[in-house]
Structure 1
Amino acid sequence: MNPVVAPISSRSVFNGKDQESSKSVFSQAYFSERPTKVAAVSQQKESKPALDEDALIRQYIRESANGTIPSSINGMSGLNLNSEERMFYNAFVNGFIVSISNQLAHQKLLPGSIFVPTAMFDPLIQKLCMTCGASFLYRCSAGNDKDLLLKVKESNSLIVKELVHRLDEMPIMETREWILIYFTLQNNRQKFVYEGRHSQTINLISGVQAIKMWLETKKKDANTKAGEKIEELSHPTVADAAPCTPSQNQKPASQSGKRNDHYSLEYNHEGDICSIEEFTEAESYILLDKLVDKTNLLKSINGNHSDSMILSPCEAPQSRTGHMVDMLEIEAKMLLSSFSYADKVKKAAEVTAFERTLLETFIFNYSGTLLTIDKSLVGCLTSPFDLFDLIAPLLFVPIYKCAVPWMNNPTAGAALPMIELQAKIIWLSFKEEFDQRDLKIIHTIQKLAQYYTRPILPDEVWRSYPKNVSKKLAESCYVSEIVAKGVYLFSMKILDRSLSEGDEKVQEIVDSMFKILECISMHSQTSVIAKWSFLVIGCAILNEDQRVKLKKRLIGFVEALKTGSLRTSLIFLEAVWENGVGLNALFIEKYLDLLVI
C-alpha cells in the first residue's frame, strides 16, 4: 500500500461482517477526525472553500484509488514509466478516476478499485489508462493544448489497432474482463475528448457486443466447471442474434456532407467538442466485426442455436410462451429489471465486485448516450429492453452488506431503476409513430416515474455516521427522484409533441426539481447521475432566476470534475434558452450535436 496515503480498508469501512469497526473507522478515522486536514487539501486542490464538503469525498476517492498502487510502481512488471507516462498515469488515478466516481459506495466497488490495479498487469489497459489521463489533462487545459490532443488521438488509434490484433490472435476462451474494462474506459474517455456522435455510437455498439461475448465466455466457464450445460445467464426470453454491422460506407449526413434538413449552429465550443474526424473509423469497424465473429463462435460452442431473433425496436415484449403479456407483467417484468428478478437473483450466478462496477458503469453511460446517438445506426444497437434483461441479474444482486443497499451500485446508486426507465423511454422516442402496444408501455413508464417514491435513509444511518457522510448517502436518493422527474416529463413530451413549456404540469416539475436540489450540495458528485434529467427539465425552465441557478450548478460541476461533457450541457441549454425552442430541442439534431453525455 502506498505509504504516502492511507485509504481506509474496504473490509473495515463497509463490510457488514464487521459493523462495529466499520462505524468507528468510517466515522472517526477519516470523516470526523480529518475535516481540518482535508479542508486544507481541498482548498489547495479545488481552490474554492465552498467545495470543502464535496472535496472531502473526492479526496477519499483519490486516496482509495491510490491505495491500490504499490509504493513503487516502477518496480512493477509492465509499469516502467517515463516522466510523461507517469504524469498521464497520475492524472488517470487522481483526476480521471475521481471524475467518473459518482457516489459513495463500498470501497471495493469504487472505479479506482477496479480500473487502477488492472493497469499493472495488462499492457493494453495500461496504455488506455494513460490515454485517459492525458484526456483529463487536455480537459484541464480548457481544450487549448492541441499537442496533447494530438497525442491522445494517436495513442487511441494505436490502442484500437492493438485490440483488433489481440482479438485476432487470442484463443476463443481467453476473452476475460479486460474487454469490459476497455469499452467502459473508452466510453468514459469520450466525456473528456469527444470524437463525434458516429464514433461514440460505434463504440457503444461494440461495447454491448463485448458484453455479450464476455457473458458467453462466462457461461462456457460455468459449463466446463459443472460438466454440463447450465441455464444461460441472459435468461431464456428472446435473445439477440448477431447484430448488423454497419458498413464503413454507412455514414450519417453529419459526416458525409451538409445535412439536407438540418443546419449547424455556429456556436463557440471553446475546445469542448472536437470536430467529427475519422480518427480510427476503419479500425473501429474491424473491431466490431471481430467482436461479432467471436460472439457467434462462442454461442456455437455453447449450443445457443435458438438465439436467432431479436425484438424489433419498440416491439412489445413477449412472454416465454410467445404470447403477449398482460400489463402487470409488462410493468413488473419488462420495465424494471430490479422487480423482475427480485426472486431469481437470490439463485443467480455469483457476481463479483469487478463485474458489478464494470457493467453498471457501462450501462449508465449507455443510458445517457442514447439521447445523442447517431440515429442512422439505431438498427445496429441492442435495445435497453433486451440489454437490461440480459444483465439484470448482475446489476441488482447485493454483493456486500452495506449501510444502505444502494452502496452496492457504485455508478447509479439509488437511481438505478430510474436510469433503466430513462434508457427505455429514450429508445421509445426513436419511433415516429406509436401503435397501441407502444402507448401502453409509454404510459406505464410514465406512471412508474410519476409516482416514484425515493428511498429513505434509515434513522440508524443518520445516528451512526457523520452528518456529511449520511448526507451524501441521502443525496443519492434525492438524485433518483430528479431522474424520475426527467423521465416523467420526457414521457409527457413524446406522447404530446405540442406540449408547451408553459403548461402548468410542466412548470410543477421544474419547481419540484429545484426544491429537491435544495437537499443536494452545490458540487455533489452524485448530481452527475441526473445530468440527462437536468437537460430535459432545463429545456422547460422559463424563469430567469431558475436558469441562473441551474447554470451556477453546472459551472460548479465543470470546475470540480473537469469533464467536457458537463460543459456541453451549459452550451446546449444556453442555445435552447436563447432560441426559445424549449423541449423540442430534445428532438432536433442541430441541438443534440452540441451535447456530450
Structure 2
Amino acid sequence: MKSVKKRTRSGCRRRKVKCDEVKPACSGCRKSNIKCLWPNNEKQSLSHGEQFHIERLPQTKRFQFVMYRGDQDKEVPEQPEQPEEPEQVVDPAVVDSLEELVPFESVVSPSLDVPLDREYSNAVYSMAPSNALVAWGTSLSTDNESPLLFQAFLEGFLNSVSPQPCHPRLSPQANFVPLAMSNPTMMDIFNACGASFLSRTDPSMRVEAKRRYSLCLTNFANSLSKAQEGAEEWMAAAVILLCLRDKFSGTSPIVPASHLAKALEMIRQLRKKGKSSVISLKFLVESFLFNYTVMLLTGTQEVVQRLPSPFEVYDEWRTILDCTPFHTALPFMKYPVFGAARQVYEIAAKVSWLYSRLPLSALDKAVACDLLRQTYTTELPEISSSAKTELLPSELVHLQESIYLADIIRSCCILLLHKLLFPRLEKNDPSVQEIVGNIINRLYALTAESPIWIICAWPLLVCGMATSAVSHQHFIYSQCQRCASRFQMEFLDQIGKFLVSVWGTENEPGMGWDCLFNRDIISRVYL
C-alpha cells in the first residue's frame, strides 16, 4: 500500500484571493479605498503598452471625539488611518472626560423611509416566549471575561430601563444583547454599564466602574475610526447605552444630550441606507424619543439647541414608531418604552419645547391652545375582554399600571399648559390642586415594586412643583428617595432635593412652580 505523504513540509502556500466581481465596486476595492474600474465590454483588455494605474479615493472624514471641559470644548482631530501601522489607542485618561461623538459630515435626508415590509413581507407574528434570550445570555456570559459585570448589566442595568410589557422581540434584551455576539466593543460597553450599576451600592466598585468606562470609550473610539461604510446598528445602540449610563449616574446633562443628538444622526444613516431591520429601527427610535422627551423640560438652552424640534422629529419617525410588526394582545404593547402613554408623551415633548421658547409669541400661544385641546380629547386605552382571557393576572396588573402612567402624564401636560397660558395662576388654586390630587391618586395605585416607577421621574417633578399640601409633598419626596434606592437611579435623589428647595419652609418660602419660567433654576435638575 502506497504511503500518504504531505505535499509540503511547511503547509499550503497562501492562496490568492480572487475578485468577487460585485458591481459597482468589489469588496477588495472598497476595503482598500481605491476606485473600482470595469471594462466597457466583457472581453475588453488593456491595449499593448498601456499601463494600469490605481486611483486612490479621497478619505472620507469619519468620527471625532470632542472632550467636555466644563465651559469649553476641545476638539481632538482624527489621525489618518495607516493600513500597516499598529493600532492607535486613545488615551483612557483623556477619553474619561468624553462629551460626545461628532457624526458624519454628510447631510442625511430625513424624508427617506424604509418600507415596512422590506424584511417581513407584511407578516404578522404572534407573541412567543423569549427563551432565546436565556441562550444568548448563557453564551455571552461564558465567553465574557467578566461574567459578574455582564450579569449585572443583564439583570440590573438593562432591567432598570425596561419598564413596559411588550412583545419579546421588541424588548431591550432582544435588541441590545445579540449585538455583542458579533462585536466585542458592545461587550465592553455592557461591562461598563454593569460596573456602573454595581458601583451605586458598592463603593469598592467605583474605581473599576471608572476604568471600565474609559476602556469602553477607548475601544469605541478605535472602532469608529475604522468605520468604512458609515453608521452601523451597533453604533447607534452603543451611543444610546452610553446616554443611559451617564443619565443614571447623575452626570452633566450636556453629555447625554450630545449622545442623543449623535444617536439620532446615526439612526438617520441606518434608515437612509436600509442597514437596519424594521424591528431594530423601531426600538432605537423609541429609545431615542423617550429620553429626548423627558430631557426637554429641564434642559439648558445649550441642551435644547443640540436637539431637534419635537414637532419635526415625531413627524419624521411616526411611520416607524407606530408600525406593528407583531400581533399583540393590546395595541399599545408594540411600544416597549412608551407603553400606553405613547400619544401623551408626544404632547409632553411639545409642551416642554414651548417652555424653552419663552416669552411665547402669538403663534406659540395658538399652538399651546391646540395642545391643550389635544390633551383633553386624548382617550386612554383600555384592556379588552379578549386580552383579559389571553394574559396572565400579573401581566394584566402591569398593563393597567401602564394605563395609569398615561393618565398621569396627561394630567401633568394639563398642569404645564395651564401655567404656560396663564402665568399668574397660583399653585394653591383649587383647579390646580384638583389635578394634583388626581395624579397623586394614580401614583398611589402603582405597586411599590412596579417597574413603571423607573420612568416616573418626569411626572414626579412636574407634579411636585405644583403640589401645595404637605402630605402630598411628603409622599412625592418619599417616592423619589425610595425609587432612587430601589432602582439605583441617582438623578431621582437629585429631584427630591430640588423639590425641597422649591417648596421652601414656613419661614423661607420657595419659588413654587414659578421656577418653570426660570431656566437657570429648573436646569439644576436632570431627567
2:133 and 2:521 map into 1 onto residues whose CA distance is 37
Task: Please tell me the residue identity of whatever aligns with 1:102.
Answer: P
Residues 545/396 of structure 1: CA separation in 2 closer, same or farther (3 Å cut): same
Match of 1:149 among 198, 203, 206: 206
Post-superposition offset of 1:434: 2.0
User: Superposition pairs for residues 237-316 of structure 1, below 5 Å?
Assistant: none
Match of 2:338 among 381, 387, 412: 412
Post-superposition offset of 1:372: 2.9
User: Superposition pairs for residues 11-410 of structure 1, below 5 Å?
Assistant: 66-70=134-138, 73-74=141-142, 76=143, 79=144, 81=145, 85-141=146-202, 145=203, 148-173=205-230, 175-218=231-274, 351-352=278-279, 354-410=280-336
Post-superposition offset of 1:67: 4.8
Residues 568/584 of structure 1: CA separation in 2 closer, same or farther (3 Å cut): same
Task: Please tell me the residue identity of whatever aligns with 1:211.
Answer: I
Q: For 1:140, what is the secondary structure of its paired residue?
A: coil
Post-superposition offset of 1:594: 4.1
- Contact kept, 8 Å, 2:149 with 2:191, in 1: the verdict is yes
- Contact kept, 8 Å, 1:536 with 1:586, in 2: the verdict is no
- Contact kept, 8 Å, 2:124 with 2:325, in 1: the verdict is no
Q: For 1:477, what is the secondary structure of its paired residue?
A: helix
Match of 1:580 among 499, 510, 524: 510
Correspondence for 1:430: 356
2:283 and 2:346 map into 1 onto residues whose CA distance is 16
Post-superposition offset of 1:415: 0.5
2:247 and 2:125 map into 1 onto residues whose CA distance is 38
Correspondence for 2:60: none
Q: Does 1:462 align with 2:388?
A: yes
Task: Please tell me the residue identity of whatever aligns with 1:592.
Answer: I
1:448 and 1:440 map into 2 onto residues whose CA distance is 12
Residues 16/466 of structure 1: CA separation in 2 closer, same or farther (3 Å cut): farther
2:350 and 2:460 map into 1 onto residues whose CA distance is 18
1:70 and 1:154 map into 2 onto residues whose CA distance is 25
Post-superposition offset of 1:489: 0.9
Task: Please tell me the residue identity of whatever aligns with 2:196.
Answer: S
Correspondence for 1:294: none
1:469 and 1:499 map into 2 onto residues whose CA distance is 41
Residues 408/18 of structure 1: CA separation in 2 closer, same or farther (3 Å cut): closer
> How big is each residue's C-alpha offset from its partner over 1:121-172, in whole Å with a ceiling of 9 and x where there is no partner?
211111111111111112223xxx2x64344344434433443443332112
Task: Please tell me the residue identity of whatever aligns with 2:495.
Answer: S
Task: List gaps (5 residues or longer) in structure 1.
Answer: 1-14, 26-60, 223-349
2:248 and 2:199 map into 1 onto residues whose CA distance is 8
> How big is each residue's C-alpha offset from its partner over 1:12-58, in whole Å with a ceiling of 9 and x where there is no partner?
xxx98668xx7xx8xxxxxxxxxxxxxxxxxxxxxxxxxxxxxxxxx
- Contact kept, 8 Å, 1:128 with 1:182, in 2: the verdict is yes
Q: Does 1:529 align with 2:455?
A: yes
Post-superposition offset of 1:557: 2.1
Post-superposition offset of 1:589: 4.6
Post-superposition offset of 1:461: 2.2
Task: Please tell me the residue identity of whatever aligns with 2:268.
Answer: K
Post-superposition offset of 1:465: 3.0
Q: Does 1:483 align with 2:409?
A: yes
Q: Give the alignment's TM-score, normalised by structure 1.
A: 0.63
Post-superposition offset of 1:73: 3.3
2:498 and 2:133 map into 1 onto residues whose CA distance is 33
Q: For 1:191, what is the secondary structure of its paired residue?
A: helix
Correspondence for 2:102: none
Match of 1:571 among 497, 507, 527: 497
User: Superposition pairs for residues 504-523 of structure 1, below 5 Å?
Assistant: 504-523=430-449
Q: For 1:415, what is the secondary structure of its paired residue?
A: helix
1:172 and 1:189 map into 2 onto residues whose CA distance is 27
> How big is each residue's C-alpha offset from its partner over 1:381-418, in whole Å with a ceiling of 9 and x where there is no partner?
21112211221111101121111111110111011111
1:588 and 1:65 map into 2 onto residues whose CA distance is 46
Residues 459/556 of structure 1: CA separation in 2 closer, same or farther (3 Å cut): farther
- Contact kept, 8 Å, 2:332 with 2:340, in 1: the verdict is yes
Task: Please tell me the residue identity of whatever aligns with 2:160.
Answer: S
> How big is each residue's C-alpha offset from its partner over 1:458-513, in whole Å with a ceiling of 9 and x where there is no partner?
12222443322211111111111111111111112222322211112211110111
1:556 and 1:470 map into 2 onto residues whose CA distance is 24
Post-superposition offset of 1:374: 3.2
Residues 581/411 of structure 1: CA separation in 2 closer, same or farther (3 Å cut): same
The structure number with the bigger radius of gyration is: 2
- Contact kept, 8 Å, 1:523 with 1:553, in 2: the verdict is no
Higher helix share: 1
Correspondence for 1:440: 366
| Pairs aligned (count) | 401
2:432 and 2:135 map into 1 onto residues whose CA distance is 47
Post-superposition offset of 1:438: 1.3
Post-superposition offset of 1:541: 1.0
Residues 370/65 of structure 1: CA separation in 2 closer, same or farther (3 Å cut): farther
2:315 and 2:520 map into 1 onto residues whose CA distance is 33
Percent identity between the two aligned chains: 25
1:591 and 1:432 map into 2 onto residues whose CA distance is 15
2:370 and 2:395 map into 1 onto residues whose CA distance is 35
> How big is each residue's C-alpha offset from its partner over 1:414-433, in whole Å with a ceiling of 9 and x where there is no partner?
11111111111111111122
Correspondence for 1:258: none
Task: Please tell me the residue identity of whatever aligns with 2:243.
Answer: N
- Contact kept, 8 Å, 1:482 with 1:533, in 2: the verdict is yes
1:386 and 1:213 map into 2 onto residues whose CA distance is 17
Residues 73/499 of structure 1: CA separation in 2 closer, same or farther (3 Å cut): same
- Contact kept, 8 Å, 1:449 with 1:488, in 2: the verdict is yes
Let me know the Cα RMSD of the aligned residues.
Answer: 2.6
Task: Please tell me the residue identity of whatever aligns with 1:192.
Answer: F
Q: For 1:119, what is the secondary structure of its paired residue?
A: helix
2:346 and 2:301 map into 1 onto residues whose CA distance is 20
Correspondence for 1:558: 484
Post-superposition offset of 1:202: 2.0
Task: Please tell me the residue identity of whatever aligns with 2:441.
Answer: K
- Contact kept, 8 Å, 1:139 with 1:192, in 2: the verdict is no
Correspondence for 2:43: none
Residues 206/72 of structure 1: CA separation in 2 closer, same or farther (3 Å cut): closer
Post-superposition offset of 1:590: 5.3
> How big is each residue's C-alpha offset from its partner over 1:298-346, in whole Å with a ceiling of 9 and x where there is no partner?
xxxxxxxxxxxxxxxxxxxxxxxxxxxxxxxxxxxxxxxxxxxxxxxxx
